[in-house]
Amino acid sequence: MNIHLPLLLVLAIVAWLIVRHLRLRWWAVAVLVLLGFYLADTSAAPLIDNTTHDGVSVINKTTTK
């Protein structure tokens, strides 16, 4: 059985759980999201992208060529 959820919904649920259980403030979540966007515009972005793709393929047990 496969369940298809939009990534935005999953991220929203994770953010809500973090705020609820770790008592993190919403403004801190907004700051972290903005920092993520700023980090995506740096020279570290390709390294982060490749690492993310490698991590997903390890979890999914797939290989990319």
**What tens digit of pLDDT does each residue of 1-57 get?**
777 778 778 878 888 888 888 888 888 878 887 888 888 888 888 888 898 888 888
Classified as helix, coil or strand, 49 is: helix
Which pLDDT score, from 0 to 100, does residue 61 have? 83
Which pLDDT score, from 0 to 100, does residue 64 have? 59
Closest CA to 15 of 36, 40, 1: 36
Are 64 and 52 in contact by the 8 Å Cβ rule? The answer is no
The residues near 48 (Cβ < 8 Å, ≥ 6 apart) are 39, 40
Q: Is the pLDDT of residue 65 over 70?
A: no
62/3 Cα distance (integer angstroms): 19
Which pLDDT score, from 0 to 100, does residue 59 have? 87
Reported as type and span, the H/E element at residue 8 is helix 7-21
